[in-house]
A and B are shown apart, each in its own frame.
Chain A
């Protein structure tokens, strides 16, 4: 069975500080990987997706970047956090570019 793990579970950061969030998929080789952002009580906004190692497509610009250094790993980062970056960050994977399965998420608070 496939498992998806996100780290950290929660993070409190200062405005202007850097950020790195991670996601790992186990039990599936060459998955499609995705990053989403969700404001509290809001909808899900897709940020990035990756079909293969080293390749990342940006869906929406939010002063964030993503990288896929390994087949099973997806990283979301920024050098300078904004207040608007607060929210719930979700990683998802898909075996086929259709059905997507989400991880448990990382709660980010920017102060």
Chain B
């Protein structure tokens, strides 16, 4: 049973466009949602995160939009750059922390 779902599995955008990555979850006790960026052969890097008390979090070109009622969130990458080409994972945990559940990831390719 997949508790954290991501879509699409892969996404291709042109340089300068906005990439939109979607995530949804089942468990209503989840209240912390980090996004990780992973390049091939490397460990994932924490990109940006949001807590369920907020509906938006922005960090440079990366923005999370959160809809608690629908249990959905999305990551927007504006002005996409070829260096943003990577796999992005949505994850979730509850207030106890420590147990982090990951989605299957979205592979993003930014074409110059």
Binding site for B on A (CB under 8 A): 32, 34, 42-46, 49, 51, 57, 59, 90, 92, 94, 96-105, 107
Contact = CB atoms under 8 A, between A and B. Distances in A.
B70 interface: no
- The 6 A-B pairs at the shortest CB distance, nearest first, are namely A97-B97, A102-B43, A44-B102, A43-B104, A105-B43, A97-B98
Contacts of B89: 43-44
Task: State the main secondary structure of chain A at its contact with B.
Answer: strand
Given A42-B104, A43-B104, A96 B97 contact: yes
The winner among A59, A90, A102, A107 for most chain B CB atoms within 10 A is A102
24 contacts: A32-B98, A42-B105, A43-B89, A43-B103, A44-B89, A44-B102, A46-B99, A49-B99, A59-B99, A90-B44, A92-B43, A94-B97, A97-B96, A98-B32, A98-B34, A99-B34, A100-B34, A100-B100, A101-B46, A102-B36, A102-B45, A102-B46, A104-B43, A105-B42
Contacts of A32: 97-98
Nearest to B49: A99
Given A43-B103, A98-B32, A49 B98 contact: yes
Interface string B82-112: 0000000101010011111111110000000
A99 B42 contact: no
Contacts of B91: 44
Nearest to B101: A46
Contacts of B99: 46, 49, 59
A98 B49 CA distance: 10
A1 to B, nearest CB: 15
A99 B46 contact: yes
Given A42-B104, A43-B89, A43-B105, A102 B44 contact: yes
A34 B99 CA distance: 9
